[in-house]
A = this chain, B = another copy of it.
Amino acid sequence: MSVLRCPGCGQEVSPLSPINTCPRCGEPLFLEVDSDEIVREGARSLVPRSLKKVSLGEGETPLIERGEFLLKLEFLNPTGSFKDRGASLTISRALLAGWGAVVEDSSGNAGIAVAAYAARAGIRARIYAPADAPQGKLRLIRAFGAEVVTAKTRDEAHRAALEDKSGVYVGHVVEPLFIEGMKDVALELLRSGERFDAIVVPVASGSLFLGLYKGFEELARLGLADGVPTMVPVEACGYVKLSGYLKTVELACEEGGKSLLADALRLTAVPRLRQIASMAARVSPYAIVVGDESIGRALRELYSMGLPVEPASAAVYAAAKYVARDIGGRVVVPLTGSGLKYVPVPSDILDGYLFGTPEPREQR
């Protein structure tokens, strides 16, 4: 049977307990899956079927080749972001445990995903979000019937959600099942048969980074992969968390400037930071930090390739171009969020980059 396990002190907890950190030492828990169950089911997923109760058709996203890049189109998940993979398992846990209401904090995409899967499962959801989140994203959360509560900043939304006792806290920034949902990206990359030399991974709360790492580790344990490949974390200027742990490469960061474009990367209070940092130090030579000039230029390029992504995905593409030059070889680029949530709404921040006026300045 699969259990929650503390990576710090080894404490074991039932997946039906309404907690996501260790009751003994406070460390965020991971799910320890039953490998026999995975193998019995033909290793078609790294998550046992017994834990997957709520689905909207997420996963198995397209992988397309563009020159030296393999683009994984995660924005084609049901609600328009990779967060659907995590929300599917998080809400499955809620359903198995019989929780009637859940609480989440999010800059937008994870809130939309949790709201949609909670709606599907008949579970009430309350989502804390920063007041300056894209209003279109907040409208989507409400369209799924969830309640939106706004806070002054992304970090304050996190703290407020932790204190809310109206439902079980399932915040994706710490929830182990949310991370678990990301593992199959590793499996899908493996099954594609494509060779690659590195993956660039956006890091806000780190769920994709942690999930990919865990996925490749488990694939190696099953004898299906060699180990964890090079995985380069990507952050946005002004929201850097990994600089104390890893060499940092900056792309077009203004002195003291904060990214306005990459709203999905604006978290700084990251409960799993040490876990992410220790994994990243093992599998990447550096973290890449991307600024708005670079993001805007990459965004324009992605639209000229016919790909309607969100700005945070463009940050990752900009980082991938650096990695392709610096490390060389083929680079996997997860395009994590849909631009369909943004472009329909007029925006002072985005429009100049999208429609070409004013012209983006030259990269420094």
Q: CB within 8 Å of B: which residues of A?
A: 55-57, 60, 62-64, 73, 76-80, 116-117, 119-120, 134-137, 139-140, 142-145, 303-308, 338-346, 354-355
Complexed CA–CA distance, A355 and B342 (Å): 20
**Cβ contact of A78, chosen from B306, B344, B355, cutoff 8 A:** B306
Contact A303 B145, beta carbon cutoff 8 Å? yes
Number of copies: 2
Q: How far is the CB of A66 from chain B (nearest CB, A)?
A: 10
15 A–B contacts, CB within 8 A, in A order: A55-B64, A56-B307, A73-B78, A76-B77, A78-B307, A80-B308, A120-B305, A136-B345, A137-B344, A139-B344, A140-B340, A140-B343, A143-B308, A143-B343, A143-B354
Q: Which residues of B contact A345 (CB under 8 A)?
A: 136, 344-345
Complexed CA–CA distance, A303 and B143 (Å): 7
Complexed CA–CA distance, A292 and B303 (Å): 34
Q: How far is the CB of A231 from chain B (nearest CB, A)?
A: 23
Once A143-B354, A143-B355, A339-B143 are accepted as A-B contacts, the answer to whether A306 and B56 lie under 8 Å apart by CB is: yes
Contact A76 B79, beta carbon cutoff 8 Å? no
Once A55-B64, A64-B55 are accepted as A-B contacts, the answer to whether A355 and B142 lie under 8 Å apart by CB is: yes
Complexed CA–CA distance, A305 and B354 (Å): 33
Q: How far is the CB of A297 from chain B (nearest CB, A)?
A: 15
Knowing that A80-B338, A338-B340 touch, tell me 11 more A-B residue pairs with CB under 8 angstroms.
Answer: A79-B306, A117-B306, A119-B303, A119-B304, A134-B344, A136-B344, A143-B339, A144-B308, A145-B304, A340-B341, A342-B344
Contact A62 B73, beta carbon cutoff 8 Å? no
Q: Which residues of B contact A307 (CB under 8 A)?
A: 56, 78, 116
Q: Which residues of B contact A139 (CB under 8 A)?
A: 343-344, 346
Chain B residue with Cβ nearest A112: B308
Interface centre among A78, A80, A143 (most CB of B within 10 A): A143
Complexed CA–CA distance, A345 and B140 (Å): 10
Q: Which residues of B contact A144 (CB under 8 A)?
A: 303-304, 306, 308
Q: Which residues of B contact A342 (CB under 8 A)?
A: 344
Q: Which residues of B contact A78 (CB under 8 A)?
A: 62, 73, 76, 306-308
Q: Which residues of B contact A355 (CB under 8 A)?
A: 142-143
Once A56-B64, A73-B57 are accepted as A-B contacts, the answer to whether A344 and B140 lie under 8 Å apart by CB is: yes
Contact B305 A119, beta carbon cutoff 8 Å? yes
Q: How far is the CB of A309 from chain B (nearest CB, A)?
A: 10
Q: How far is the CB of A346 from chain B (nearest CB, A)?
A: 8
Q: Which residues of B contact A55 (CB under 8 A)?
A: 64
Q: How far is the CB of A45 from chain B (nearest CB, A)?
A: 15
Complexed CA–CA distance, A60 and B56 (Å): 15
**Cβ contact of A308, chosen from B64, B116, B135, B304, cutoff 8 A:** B116
Q: Which 10 A-B pairs have the closest CB atoms?
A: A136-B344, A57-B62, A120-B306, A116-B306, A340-B340, A57-B64, A119-B306, A143-B354, A76-B76, A143-B343
Q: Which residues of B contact A306 (CB under 8 A)?
A: 56, 78-79, 116-117, 119-120, 144
Complexed CA–CA distance, A144 and B299 (Å): 11
Chain B residue with Cβ nearest A122: B304
Complexed CA–CA distance, A341 and B140 (Å): 11
Chain B residue with Cβ nearest A77: B76
Q: Which residues of B contact A56 (CB under 8 A)?
A: 64, 306-307
Interface centre among A63, A305, A308, A340 (most CB of B within 10 A): A340
